[in-house]
Amino acid sequence: MLKQQENATTQSVKRKIYFGPVATHVTDVDTGAWRILTPVADDEKCIRCGICQKHCPLAIIQVDRETPFTVDLRFCKGCGICSQVCPKDCIAMTEIGKGGE
């Protein structure tokens, strides 16, 4: 009896079951259709420090001394991390249709 229980618990599972959509690379998923909030920067207040770019989990923010704040909105999830870490509070999370996209 113990041998049967041991065999039943030590056998490897040959089948994987996934629930819901599975993405291997989150930047490959175009989320522009379901994002509710969009980051919008005030270029006059922005000091172009790049902190928002460093903290973006998807690495879709571009900002440097010569170019203004830009976000690839096709892949932005609207998480708001860029807005939270901005030292000058120049990034606002705006509803789409109200100054956003």
pLDDT band at 14 (very low <50, low <70, confident <90, very high): low
98 contacts 38 by C-beta, under 8 angstroms = no
pLDDT of residue 97: 65
Where residue 94 falls among pLDDT bands split at 50, 70, 90? Answer: very high
- CATH number for the domain spanning 72: value is 3.30.70.20
pLDDT of 82 reads 96
pTM recorded for the entire structure: 0.65
Angstrom distance (rounded) from CA 72 to CA 40: 12
Burial 67-78 (b: 16+ CB within 10 A, else e): eebebebebbbb
Total count of domains within the chain:
1
Domain that holds residue 39: 27-101
Residue 45 lies in a domain: yes
In which band, very low, low, confident or very high, does the pLDDT at 66 lie, cut at 50, 70 and 90? confident
pLDDT at 64: 86
Query: Above 60 in pLDDT, residue 9?
Result: no
Residue 10 placed within a domain: no
